[in-house]
Amino acid sequence: MALRDRQDIQDLIHSYGATVDQGRSIRQLLADGEIPALKGCHLYPGKVSDCIFGDPLQTPDGIPLRLMYRTNRVSTHDQHRGSIPFKDQVLALNHHLMLDLVQPILGSSQLEIPGLEPTATVIVAENLNPIAFENVLRCYMATSTTSTSLYQHWLAGAREFCGHALPDNLQGNGKLPYIMDTPSTKAKADQSVAPQYLFDRGICTPEDYTQIRNSSILAFGLLMAHDRPKGLIPVDTKLEHGRNHQGAIVVMDEVFTLDSTRRWKLDPATGELELDAQGNPQSYSKEFVRGMAFDPSTGLLNPHQQQDIAVRYIEAIQHISGQPFEPDLRSREQRLLESTHQILDHLGIA
């Protein structure tokens, strides 16, 4: 089946981009008593996803669960920038494809619900005991404005980063000597640190870190093998992990999505990086949003920018999946309610 071209994607966004985001938010649905089984649960709003957990939300044998609701929100530099049509469904499909690829290596906290579509923006998972750092893997030194980036440290003259010695001959957007594990804290202001920092503060043990690092690098290798035939190369990514009720360490939250993983396009003729007019790699990730001009009074993107970002996200998931993007065109409220009840009914949570 042919992929949607840019005009078809623009028409899709113009015709349905607003309608699929209509209706009450999950916060309002809970406040209005639309999901009685979740009465007494807590809602934790994240930057791009909302999470619900609490005593009523557990399996019959007492394993604590959480419901995660992807939204269309986009953020950069820890600030909300606006709402991107279809972004929630793109990331849901992206996560579904990637988790299927690497779950044998990384494990998962997510529960399978029969009949729940890959584009479903509601998922259920065990409420893990989180291991409080982000496991950031880097294959290239991508240019970046974020303070935790290797590039910014290298520009400032640092020749050591997260325990790795940095050669003098590195170049912006150049390949690193090997895949580097560069953990980042999850404090209010993220900080790139060496693994010893985590050990000294009891965040994880050396043995736990070795498992997380080795399994993540192996999964990253699988991602590279998956992406290269599609004309893409993974540049860097971040993963988060937690411990389940059996004590096993498994991946949590999103896996190799466009919000967590930077991919660059390869020239189909040469296999080398494809560059834009400014000489920068053509990127499939959220990174290009950081370079946009935001409204100085609100910090938000304008409607034209939001639609342009939506086109880029849909083009990207088609490139990654090799399939045309087929969204669920029901209103967001209908999708949230029906998916939540489908999950709760399957789990026997009344």
Instruction: Dig out the tokens for 40 from the structure.
Output: 């007494």
- pLDDT band at residue 293 using 50, 70 and 90 as cut-offs: confident
- pLDDT band at residue 98 using 50, 70 and 90 as cut-offs: very high
Compute the distance between CA of residue 231 and CA of residue 140 in angstroms, rounded to an integer: 17
pLDDT value of residue 289: 87
Measured over the CA atoms of residue 204, residue 69, residue 77 and residue 144, the dihedral's sign is positive
Compute the distance between CA of residue 133 and CA of residue 216 in angstroms, rounded to an integer: 14
pLDDT value of residue 222: 97
Nearest to 172 by CA among 235, 105, 120, 127: 235
CATH code for the part of the protein at 6-347: 3.30.470.20
Compute the distance between CA of residue 244 and CA of residue 336 in angstroms, rounded to an integer: 26
Give me the chain's average pLDDT, please. 94
- pLDDT band at residue 213 using 50, 70 and 90 as cut-offs: very high
Nearest to 263 by CA among 301, 292, 231, 299: 231
Compute the distance between CA of residue 261 and CA of residue 287 in angstroms, rounded to an integer: 9
Average pLDDT over residues 103-111: 97
pLDDT value of residue 126: 97
AA letter at 126: E
Give per-residue pLDDT as tens, 136-190.
999 999 998 777 789 999 999 999 999 999 999 999 999 999 999 999 998 777 8
Average pLDDT over residues 39-61: 93
Q: Range with the lowest mean pLDDT among 20-24, 192-196, 290-294, 341-345? A: 290-294
Whether residue 127 contacts residue 65, with contact meaning beta carbons closer than 8 Å, is answered with yes
- pLDDT band at residue 77 using 50, 70 and 90 as cut-offs: confident
Helix (H, G, I), strand (E, B) or coil at 212: helix
| Site of tokens 């899709």 | 12
Task: Give CA separation, 129 vs 55, 223, 230, 316, in Å.
Answer: 15, 26, 36, 32
Q: What percent of the chain has pLDDT over 70?
A: 100
For the chain, which residues make up each domain, given as ranges?
A: 6-347
pLDDT value of residue 190: 80
Average pLDDT over residues 248-270: 93
